[in-house]
A and B are shown apart, each in its own frame.
Chain A
Amino acid sequence: MGKRIGMEASIAVAETVALCDVDVIAAYPITPQTHIVEHLSEIVADGELDAEFIPVESEHSAMSSCVGSSAAGARTFTATASQGLVLMHEINYIASALRLPIVMCVVDRSLSGPISIWNDHSDIMSERDTGWIQTFAENAQEAVDLTLHSFRVAEDLGVLLPVTFNLDGFILSHMIEPVILPEREEVERYLPNYEPKIRLDVDQPLTMGPVGVPAIYTEAKFAQEMALRDALPVIEKAWDEFEELFGRRYHPIETYRLEGADVALVTMGSIGETAMTYVDQARDAGIKVGLIRIRLWRPFPKKAFLEATKGIKGLAIVDRCASLGGVGGPVALELKGALYNQDHRPRVVEFQVGLGGRDVPVQDFDRMVQSTLAVIAGGPLPEPRFLQVRE
């Protein structure tokens, strides 16, 4: 087991990527991802990691080069944020359709316009339908651990899907926190060599990315859907194995102090740590509130989520993103969708907060929980709203 040291989350991610012995990194710099790719460049430049670092000329080419590299059979990594993520959007769908185990770190940053370099989830929410496995880290240790877990899951022959793990921009990516990096032997035990089922190989020529005629397009998409669903047990097993090796346990849905709770906050990403602080304070004050943190966003762990809501009377759903013109924020839509056909459904109150990097202090969580308590008590259900807008 490695030593516990203080390290910036981005640097820790880069160090872990290097420990995973990636073969190709194709990346384009964008705030707030830059420290990851800069540090990886340094590691390669010093000969500590034997990899090809392709300084591509745009994020669209970053993902395109990742596709070429992964199709050729190399372990491939990239990182991006915000505008870069949506620039590669076209190719993201193709990466998952081709079943390529690319690992990408998205350092969540709000989408233009107006242009904002600060954190929210609007960038990653544009990728919901792309067929990638998607997870969220809340602190630097989780970022390190999810890096390793991402390669392990992506390259599993029962999965072979690209994986994104998310760090909140600046508020996680640029924080110096105590981390334990894995040792190289531990990584080698956890992460076998990548041995693809098919690849671009002159000894076994095949055609990848053919025209998906109407006769097969439905089957192709269904196969992807089933691959995502079948990935869930592999994701969990990989977390089981992670615990055996490293002693830290992760779940698709993490819960905190839900026992006897009437209200549960639902968060995703680093905001969950502030929520935990609030929950502790609220519990001390006698409010029966707990916290559900979504760690695995895609494939959405419906069963685990529904299990977590058992006995909960009201959910205060926190979206760090608006879905303009829709009937709720992206996370709220997902959770309401999961709950709709259930016999037991908690009341759902929705909040869009933290947009464009706006701080979400403990007091705002109290407002959300009080609002939800009022609804449970029989009060009117408020429309989903931007909690922090100055009116």
Chain B
Amino acid sequence: MGAEDLLGVFSARLMKPSESVVSGHRACQGCGEVLAMRLIHKELGRNTIVCSATGCMEIISSSYPDTAWDVPWLHVAFENAAAVASGAEAAYKAMKRKKRFDPGKKVTFVGMGGDGGTADIGLQALSGALERGHDMIYVCYDNEAYMNTGIQRSSSTPLGAATTTSPAGKKSIGQKTWKKNITEIAAAHGIPYAATASPSYPFDLMEKARRAASTPGPCYLHVYACCPTGWRCASDLAIELGRLATQTCAFPIYEIFDGHKVRVNVKPERLRPLKDYLSSQGRFRHLDDETIGEVEARLRQWYERLLTREAQSGWDDESDGGQH
């Protein structure tokens, strides 16, 4: 179907028509991560070079001789997507300056990985890339565990979630530690743009991809990615759970400009009880009300802090929150 054919239905008109991630990929049914990736790359378009970490998205999209990628794509190892993207970005910078590549052709560089390949083993490479100021986007697809290797915990696994290396048991509530906030770590590098996003708010997600692509310097996107397989939920819940995550403060959607100016993009009219979010996910089914209450309180506290920081960021009515 050509681009013009999509004009017949409304939402499709709000997206760029071409698909850089094609059907036939091997993601699980209902995978929220591949959906997010698909939407981001629809927005970023064909002049994009993607450097991917090892992980779910790499495995499902590049099993020889099938590739789901319709843009140039390079996979090297697990912990180095940001370093690989840095090298590619620097190469193009040098080659354009030396006039061996067309200096007028804008190419967007994307380093991508899961929460494992970003927050844990990939944190050093990410920090280096952000500090050096490469003109690139780093996207972390956060399904809150090492899903590709069989649902082992990461530092992005939320407290109380059961994974295979943080199982719930007679002496354990599952993950014992609080989810590491990589968005804040990224912003602490003083980069021009860092944001959380979710495919449950797809137009916000795509707008953030657009903003990241048009902002010079390093930009970081942290994307919510529901994994029905790892979260033990039904395969049709990716979008609904993402909405609930935001409405319960489990995954707030916000932006940080220049390392400090905060804008909260999704402000639920009424915050929902955390239980609404946890109840359809098997990975939380062992949690008692007391633990859920403690987690809920801490999540809300963080959300309130975000709102306070937004108020202190000095947005006026006319400001759109940064340059286009």
Asked whether any CB of chain B lies closer than 8 Å to the CB of A259, the reply is no
User: Provided the pairs A54-B86, A57-B124, A205-B69 are in contact, do residues A67 and B76 lie with their beta carbons within 8 angstroms?
Assistant: yes
Is there an interface contact between B125 and A68, defined as CB atoms closer than 8 Å? no
Asked whether any CB of chain B lies closer than 8 Å to the CB of A324, the reply is no
Stretch from B1-9, B88-96, B269-277 forming part of the interface with A: B88-96
Which secondary structure dominates chain B's binding surface?
mixed
Stretch from A110-118, A159-167, A209-217 forming part of the interface with B: A209-217
Stretch from A5-13, A58-66, A330-338 forming part of the interface with B: A58-66
Q: Please report the C-alpha to C-alpha distance between residue A54 and residue B58 in the assembled complex, in whole angstroms.
A: 26
Specify the chain A residue showing the minimal Cβ separation from B86: A65
Is there an interface contact between B75 and A200, defined as CB atoms closer than 8 Å? no
Is there an interface contact between B62 and A209, defined as CB atoms closer than 8 Å? yes
Residue with the highest number of chain B CB atoms closer than 10 Å, among A61, A64, A68, A98: A68
Asked whether any CB of chain B lies closer than 8 Å to the CB of A94, the reply is yes
Q: What are the residues of chain A within 8 A of B86 when measuring CB–CB?
A: 26, 54, 56, 61, 65, 68
Asked whether any CB of chain A lies closer than 8 Å to the CB of B107, the reply is yes
Is there an interface contact between A52 and B90, defined as CB atoms closer than 8 Å? yes
Q: Per-residue CB proximity of A189-228 to B under 8 Å, as 1/0?
A: 0000100000011101111111111011000000000000
Specify the chain A residue showing the minimal Cβ separation from B101: A73
Asked whether any CB of chain A lies closer than 8 Å to the CB of B98, the reply is yes
Is there an interface contact between A205 and B73, defined as CB atoms closer than 8 Å? yes
Whole-angstrom distance between the Cβ of B16 and the nearest chain A Cβ: 15
Q: Please report the C-alpha to C-alpha distance between residue A56 and residue B49 in the assembled complex, in whole angstroms.
A: 20
Q: Per-residue CB proximity of A18-30 to B under 8 Å, as 1/0?
A: 0000011010000
Specify the chain B residue showing the minimal Cβ separation from A26: B87
Q: Per-residue CB proximity of B24-50 to A under 8 Å, as 1/0?
A: 000000000000000000000011110
Q: What are the residues of chain B within 8 A of A69 when measuring CB–CB?
A: 87-88, 90-91
Q: Size band of the A side of the interface?
A: 35 or more
Is there an interface contact between A65 and B84, defined as CB atoms closer than 8 Å? yes
Asked whether any CB of chain A lies closer than 8 Å to the CB of B10, the reply is no
User: Provided the pairs A66-B87, A210-B62 are in contact, do residues A202 and B125 lie with their beta carbons within 8 angstroms?
Assistant: no
User: Provided the pairs A24-B94, A57-B127, A209-B76 are in contact, do residues A202 and B107 lie with their beta carbons within 8 angstroms?
Assistant: yes
Asked whether any CB of chain A lies closer than 8 Å to the CB of B132, the reply is yes
Q: Size band of the B side of the interface?
A: 35 or more
Complex partner residue of B74 from A54, A71, A76, A212, CB under 8 angstroms: A71
User: Provided the pairs A56-B128, A65-B90 are in contact, do residues A205 and B62 lie with their beta carbons within 8 angstroms?
Assistant: no
Residue with the highest number of chain B CB atoms closer than 10 Å, among A76, A193, A200, A208: A200
Q: Please report the C-alpha to C-alpha distance between residue A212 and residue B87 in the assembled complex, in whole angstroms.
A: 23
Specify the chain B residue showing the minimal Cβ separation from A50: B98
Whole-angstrom distance between the Cβ of B89 and the nearest chain A Cβ: 8
User: Provided the pairs A55-B132, A57-B125 are in contact, do residues A50 and B84 lie with their beta carbons within 8 angstroms?
Assistant: no
Is there an interface contact between A202 and B48, defined as CB atoms closer than 8 Å? yes
Q: Please report the C-alpha to C-alpha distance between residue A26 and residue B101 in the assembled complex, in whole angstroms.
A: 20
Beyond known contacts A56-B132, A61-B86, A210-B65: 18 more, CB 8 A cutoff: A50-B94, A54-B132, A64-B83, A64-B84, A67-B84, A68-B88, A68-B91, A69-B87, A72-B87, A73-B91, A73-B101, A74-B94, A74-B95, A91-B80, A205-B73, A207-B74, A209-B74, A216-B64
10 examples of A-B residue contacts, CB within 8 angstroms: A26-B87, A52-B93, A68-B88, A69-B90, A70-B91, A72-B91, A94-B77, A205-B70, A208-B74, A209-B74
